[in-house]
Amino acid sequence: MSVREYTPIDRLFMGFDSAVRTVFGRPRVTERTDPAQGLPEVELSEAQREHIGRLMRINHSGEVCAQALYQGQSLTARLPAVRAGMERAAQEENDHLDWCERRIGQLGGRKSLLNPLWYGASFSIGAAAGLAGDKWSLGFVAETEHQVDQHLRGHLSEVPLKDEKTRVILDRMREDEMRHAALALQGGGAKLPLPVRLGMRLASKVMTKTVYRV
Ligand SMILES: [Fe+2]
Ligand SMILES: [Fe+2]
């Protein structure tokens, strides 16, 4: 079977389709099932449900950003050696998006109202990183995934042990993010300069604080 070569216009329409699906619709997921499926729902206090629902809202928005970063990057980066791997990673981010959304619903929470804004900003950053060259764009993915990992560990420390449904999702996401980071580094990702890493941390702090409320 021959592999279809997409034109820039094709890619633009495909990008638009993913943006709409990510923010407003159902993402295209992989064959994997939701790891929380079948696990029992445990008794949580109202305050706990509310808090965990908001943490999952943050994770959901983070996954909206991840999706946008990958899409922006795929528009501008060349990535000859790792394109297939990066496309699979982007699809796995859709699984995360889907699992987080389902868990938010089960906890009675809602998604961030600002997701279109996060998508737009992250898409631009991804596209800019792609233009800077593959080693930087892959380095950017690796750094993002490392920061997401630290952030997920923080959330795991706040979710009660008995809430297995939430924890199993966070654990599985962590495993995936570490694999995505390794893939990006193996593909030639460079370590980002310290000011960039610090800027990314600051941006994610502002975003998580905002999303917890909005
Ligand atoms: Fe993810
Ligand atoms: Fe990831």
Our count of domains for the chain comes to 1
Tell me, in angstroms, the distance from the centre of ligand 2 to residue 134's CA.
Answer: 17
Which range of residues forms the domain containing residue 132? 45-213
* pLDDT for residue 75: 84
Tell me, in angstroms, the distance from the centre of ligand 1 to residue 6's CA.
Answer: 26
Q: Which ligand is nearest to the CA of 172?
A: 1
Question: pLDDT for 54-65, tens place per residue?
Answer: 999 999 999 999
Identify the CATH number of the domain in which residue 152 sits.
1.20.1260.10
* pLDDT for residue 4: 65
Q: Is residue 72 assigned to a domain?
A: yes
Q: What's the rounded Cα separation, in Å, for the pair 147 and 201?
A: 8
The stretches in the chain having pLDDT less than 50 are: 1
Q: Is residue 24 assigned to a domain?
A: no
Q: What's the rounded Cα separation, in Å, for the pair 52 and 47?
A: 9
* pLDDT for residue 76: 83
Tell me the whole-structure pTM to 2 decimals: 0.88
Tell me, in angstroms, the distance from the centre of ligand 2 to residue 178's CA.
Answer: 7
In the chain, the amino acid numbered 111 is K
Q: What's the rounded Cα separation, in Å, for the pair 15 and 17?
A: 5
